[in-house]
Structure 1
Amino acid sequence: MAYKILFLVLSLFSTICVVRSQNDIIDVLRDFQEFKTLLQLIQEANLTDTLRGKGPFTVFAPVDKAFVELPKEAWKSFQDVNILRQVMSLHVVPGNVMSSELRNNVLLSSAEGQNIRINVYQNATGGKKYSLNTS
C-alpha cells in the first residue's frame, strides 16, 4: 500500500513530498524531527488510528515552528478534544494531492468535510509559500 504525503511547511518556504510504500502517515511523520507537536496533537485528537488506516491521505503538516506562532487562545481551545479533532481533521484530505496540483483558489474537501481553499504566493527567494484558508 503506497502512501503519498504532502508536507506543506507553513512557516517556512518549502514543500516536501514523501512517498513510502510500507509505512503509514504516522510513521512518516515520526521520521522528521519537525513534526513532534503535530504528532502529539494527532494523538490527543484520537486520530492516530484513522491515519494508520487505509489511505491514501494527503496531510498538510505544519512544522513545530508554525505551532509556536499560534495565539494562546488557540492552545486553550485545543483542550476541548472535539475542537482539536476538528482542527486536526482540517489538515487531512482523503486521496492523493500533489504539489503540482496546488494553485490559487483550488478547493479541496477535508476529512472533516469542509472545503480548504489553497492559495500560492511567491516569496522573495523565488520559492512558493502556500496558505490553507488564509493561514
Structure 2
Amino acid sequence: MQQSGQMGMQDDMSMQASKDIVEVAMSDPRFSTLVSLVQKAGLVDTLKGPGPFTVFAPTNDAFAKIPKKKLDELMNNPDKLRSVLLYHVINMKVTASDARTMPAPTAAGAQLSVKTSMRGGMKSVMVDNAKVIQADIMASNGVIHAIDTVLMPKMNKMGKQRSARMR
C-alpha cells in the first residue's frame, strides 16, 4: 500500500473522513462504475450505515477488465450483483497499518484471502487476486482501499456463493 507524499493530502483526507463510504466513493471519479452498481444493487443505505466497514473498491479500470457480456449478466442479476459487491466489504475497519496475511470474512458470508508482503520498504497488499493500489481512503464509517481487479466470490454449481469453512 502506497502512501502519497503530495501536499494537501492530509487536508483532503480530513475532509473525506467527514463523509461516509458512499459519499467518498461518489466524490472520486475512479469509482463511478462501482457507485452506479452499488445504487443498482440497493446497497447505498447499507454502506451509509454506521459500520465500521472496509471496502475493497474496484476502480473503473478494474471493471473494464470484465468482458462486457459477463458484466451485463451481472448487472441484470440483482442477487448475484449484490453478492459480488458485498464480497468486497468487511464489517470492520482495517487500515493499511492493520492489514496482515489472514482470511477475512466478508459481508457476503464468504472469506477473502488477504496477503501482505514488504517490497522495497513498502507494504504490498493483495486481496484474493487483486492488488491494493491506493490504501486508506478514510470515511466516517470506515475505510476504502482501491483495488485493480473486481473480486468474484467462488460459486457452486447451483450458482450460490460458497462460504469458506473454518478449519
TM over 0.5: yes
Letter in 2 for 1:131: M
The match for 1:132 is: 127
CA, structure 1 residues 36+22, in 2 after alignment: closer, same or farther (shift >3 Å)?
same
Give the one of 16, 20, 39 matched to 1:43: 39
Letter in 1 for 2:105: S
Matching of residue 63 in structure 1 with residue 59 in structure 2: yes
The aligned runs of 1:1-135 (5 Å cut-off) are 14=2, 20-78=16-74, 79-104=76-101, 106-120=102-116, 127=122, 129-135=124-130
How far is the alpha carbon of 1:103 from its aligned partner?
A: 2.9
| Superposition CA RMSD, Å | 2.5
Structure 2's unaligned 5+ residue stretches are: 5-12, 131-167
Higher relative contact order (CA 8 A, sep 6+): 2
CA, structure 1 residues 71+126, in 2 after alignment: closer, same or farther (shift >3 Å)?
farther
SS in structure 1 at match of 2:18: coil
Structure 1's unaligned 5+ residue stretches are: 1-12
Which structure has the larger Rg over C-alpha atoms?
Answer: 2
Q: Do the aligned residues in 2 keep the contact of 1:77 with 1:83 (CA within 8 Å)?
A: no
Distance 1:61 1:50 in 2: 15
Deviations 1:27-80 (A, max 9, x none): 111121111001011111110010111211111111111111113343033120
Once the two structures are overlaid, the 10-residue window that deviates more, 20-29 or 38-47, is 20-29
The alignment of Structure 1 onto Structure 2 pairs a total of residues equal to 120
Give the TM-score of the pair, scaled to structure 2. 0.62
Give the TM-score of the pair, scaled to structure 1. 0.74
Letter in 2 for 1:88: L
Q: Percent identity?
A: 32
SS in structure 2 at match of 1:111: coil
Q: Do the aligned residues in 2 keep the contact of 1:89 with 1:110 (CA within 8 Å)?
A: yes
